[in-house]
Amino acid sequence: MKERLESVGIEMDPKKRSGSFLLLDQEVKSVAKYFEGVEIMPIRRALEEYEWLEDYMWKAVKADDVEEDVREDFNGYFIRALPNAKVEIPVEACLYLSRVKRQRIHNVIIAEEGSELNVISGCTSHPKATGMHLGVSEFYVKKNAKLTFTMIHSWSEDVEVRPRSGVIVEENGTFISNYVLLSPAKLVQMYPTAYLKRNAKAVFSSIVVAFKNAKIDMGNRAVLMEGGSCAEIISRTISKGGRVVARGHIVAEAPEVKGHLECRGLILEEGEILAVPELEAKCPNVDLSHEAAIGKIAEDEIFYLMSRGMTQDEATSMIIRGFMEIDVKGLPPALKREIDKAIELAERELL
Amino acid sequence: MKDVLRLVNLGVEVEGRKIIENVNLYIKQGQTFVLFGPNGSGKSSLLMTIIGNPKYRVVGGRIIFKGKDVTDVPTHERVKMGMGIAFQNPPKIGGVRLIDVLKHCAKLGGTEDKIEKYVKMLGMEDFLNRELNVGFSGGEVKRSEILQLLLLNPDFVMLDEPDSGVDVENVAIIGKAIRRLLERDESERRKAGIIITHTGHILDHVDADYGVVLHGGRIVCMGDPFDLLDDLRKYGYEGCVRRCLRRS
C-alpha cells in the first residue's frame, strides 16, 4: 500500500507536508496537521463542528449530479486555509479504494480571504480492487486567495472513477488545477467546472494516458461569470490502446473576459482520441480561443535524437516526456516534483 | 594515417528512386572534405546515408567506418562509434529542452566538464531551457547544432550547410567552433569531416583539404576545394562539371 501511496505523491512526512489525510474505503485512517494556518479534518467532524459548513455543501456541485447514496452517506476531507495564511508546503490527502463497491466521497476545500493553499490529492486503489470511486469535491477560493490543487490518479485496471468537482473563485482569486492520470483504469468520467467572479483566474492542466481497454472521458470547464476573469485550459492526452474524449469548455457570461483552450493528443501504436474543444460566448467583447491537435511521434524527431547517440527507446521516451511537459506557472516545486515522478513511472509503461 | 570512412560503390534509393549512384570516397584521419553540388544533387542524402537514416536505403555498395562495415548498423551505434552530424534543418521538438540533449551528448562524448565552456563559446547561454529549435533563428539553429557536436566529440564530423541562412557574425562564431571540432588548428589532427556548403562562406573560416562536386548522385569532380569554389563561382555548376569532365 505504501508503494501505491507514494506513486500518487503521498509521503506522510511532516517535513515535506503541511498536513496529511488518509481515507481507506469509507473510513478515515489518519489525519495530521503540521502547520498552524491550516485546518484538516474528516468532513463528518467538520460538519458537526462548523454549522456554517452546511452553506458550502452542494453549492459548487449540484446535488442532482450525483446518485442518492453519495448524497446521503459519504466521507471525505475538509481542508481550510485560514484568512491570510500562506500554506506553501502542500497538504496531502489520499483516498484509497480497496474493498468497497462504491467509495462515496465528499470533500470541501476552502482558501479563505488572502490565503494561499497547496493541496496534493492522491487517489489510488488496491491492485485487485473492482469498485467505483464516486467523489464530490467542492472548492472555494475567496477574495485574493490562491489555491493550487494537484490531483494524481493511479487506479487499477478494474476500477471506475466518477469524480464531480466544482470550484467557485471569488474576486481576484486564483485557482490552479493539475490533473495527472498515468496508470490504467477501466473508466474515468469527469468534468470539473470553475465559476469565476470579477478578475478571478483559473488554470487547468491535465496529463492523461489511456491504456488498453480504458475509457476516459474528461475535461475542464470554466464559466467566466464576471468581467476581468480569465481561464486557461491545457491538456495533453496520450492513448496507448484506450479511448479518450478530451473535452474543454469555456463559457463567457460577461464582457471583458478572456479564455484559451489547448488540447493536444498523441496516439502511440493504436487507440482513439476525440478532442472536443468548446467556446461559448453569451455577450460581446470577449476574447476566447482554442487550439486542438492530434498527432503521432514524428519519425524525423526520433531519428534526430538517435543521431545524438540515443537508442530508439531513449529517443521516443524523451519525446513523450517533452509532450507531457506542461509549464505551469506558479506551481510549487514540491508539486512539480510529484508530477515529474508520476511521469517517470508512466514512461516505463509507455515503451 | 588511419582510415576513417570508406564508401565503396555506394548506391542509395529513397522511396524507390535512385539518388546516389556508384559513389566512392576515401577519407583518412585529419582530412576535411568539402562537398559541393547543385540543389538536389544528393549531398544531404549522402550524409543521411552515412549516418544511417532508415529512409535512405542502401541498394549497392558498402559503408566502411573505422575499418568496420556499418552499412546495416543503426544510427545510434554509428554515433557511439564516433560519427556525428549537424543537420541542415533539424526538427523542432516541443517540450524537449536543449540542455537535456546537451547533457546526453556530453555524457556520450566524455565532455561533461566542457558544457559551460562550449555553451559560452557559441553564445547559447539563454537557450538552455528553451524547447529544441522552437522559435530559434537560422543562426541559433546552426549554433545549437555545432554545440551538440562539440559535446558529442565525434571523430568523424558531418556538417550540412552550417553557413546557410547565417549572418556574417554568426558564420565567424560557427567557423571557429568547426575549426575546434575538426582540430584544424592542431598540428596532429585525429578528426576528419565532410562539410556541405553552397555559398562557400564557411571556407573563409575553416580550411579544408579536398573538394568534391556531386552531380546527379555521382561524384563528378574532386580537387583543391578553393580552386573548385573559384570555378563554381566563375562558371556555375554546369560549367564546372564540364571543365572537370574535360580534365579527366
| Per-residue pLDDT tens over the stretch A141-196 | 999 999 999 998 888 889 999 999 999 999 999 999 999 888 888 999 999 999 99
What CATH number is associated with residue B29? 3.40.50.300
Mean pLDDT of chain A: 91
| DSSP-assigned letters across all residues of A79-95 | EEEPTT-EEEEEEEEEE
Number of Cβ within a 10 Å radius of residue B195: 26
The answer to whether A307 contacts B79, with C-beta atoms less than 8 Å apart, is yes
Extract the C-alpha cell encoding A108. Answer: 470541501
B33 vs A67, more confident: B33
Q: Which B positions 130-159 lie with beta carbon below 8 A of chain A?
A: 131, 148, 152
Vertex A83: Cα angle to A81 and A84 (nearest 5) = 95
Examine residue B36 and state whether it is found in any structural domain, yes or no: yes
Nearest CA in chain A to B54: A303
Q: What are phi and psi of B16, to 5 degrees?
A: 80, 0
pLDDT of residue A40: 95
| ipTM > 0.90 for the complex | yes
Label residue A37 by pLDDT band (50, 70, 90): very high
Q: What is the pLDDT of residues B102-143, one digit of tens each?
A: 999 999 999 999 999 999 999 999 999 999 999 999 999 999
Which of B76, B150, B160 is the mutation pick for testing A, counting most A CBs within 10 A?
B76
Examine residue B185 and state whether it is found in any structural domain, yes or no: yes
Nearest CA in chain A to B102: A308
Interface size A-B, in CB pairs within 8 Å, comes to 65
Examine residue B97 and state whether it is found in any structural domain, yes or no: no
Examine residue B170 and state whether it is found in any structural domain, yes or no: yes
pTM (whole model) above 0.90: no
Examine residue B148 and state whether it is found in any structural domain, yes or no: no
Largest Cα span, chain B: 54
Q: What is the pLDDT of residues A102-115, one digit of tens each?
A: 999 999 999 999 99
Distance from the Cα of residue B91 to its chain's centroid: 17
* Residues of B with Cβ-Cβ distance to A321 under 8 angstroms: 95-96
Rounded to an integer, the average pLDDT of A331-351 is 74
Partner A contacted by B127 (CB < 8 A) = no
| DSSP-assigned letters across all residues of A96-116 | EESS-SEEEEEEEEEE-TT-E
Q: What is the pLDDT of residues B136-177, one digit of tens each?
A: 999 999 999 999 999 999 999 999 999 998 998 899 999 999
Estimate the crossing angle of helix A299-306 against helix A312-324, to 10 degrees.
120
Examine residue B118 and state whether it is found in any structural domain, yes or no: no
Q: Is the dihedral of CA A22, A28, A32, A36 positive or negative?
A: positive
Q: How far apart are CA B74 and CA B85, in angstroms?
A: 14
Extract the C-alpha cell encoding A337. Answer: 516534483
Q: How far is CA A328 from CA A35, A115, A198, A232, B92, in A?
A: 25, 20, 22, 11, 21
The answer to whether A309 contacts B93, with C-beta atoms less than 8 Å apart, is no
Q: How far apart are CA B235 and CA B185, in angstroms?
A: 32
**Percentage helix, strand, coil, to 5, in chain B?**
40, 30, 30
Q: What is the DSSP letter of A240?
A: E
* Residues of B with Cβ-Cβ distance to A322 under 8 angstroms: 93-97, 131
Examine residue B104 and state whether it is found in any structural domain, yes or no: no
Residue at grid coordinates 549572418: B167
pLDDT of residue A330: 61
Q: In what order do the strands lie in the sheet with B210-215?
A: B83-86, B156-160, B192-196, B32-36, B210-215, B218-223
Number of domains in chain B: 1
Q: Which domain does B196 fall in, by range?
A: 3-91+154-247
Examine residue B112 and state whether it is found in any structural domain, yes or no: no
Partner A contacted by B79 (CB < 8 A) = yes
Question: Does residue A329 surpass a pLDDT of 70?
Answer: no
Residue among B82, B42, B6, B14 at smallest CA distance from B218? B42
Q: What is the DSSP letter of A241?
A: B
Q: How many CA atoms lie within 13 A of A182 on its CB side?
A: 28
pLDDT of residue B53: 97
Q: What are phi and psi of B198, to 5 degrees?
A: -95, -45
Which of A235, A304, A310 is the mutation pick for testing B, counting most B CBs within 10 A?
A304
Q: How many CA atoms lie within 13 A of A73 on its CB side?
A: 6
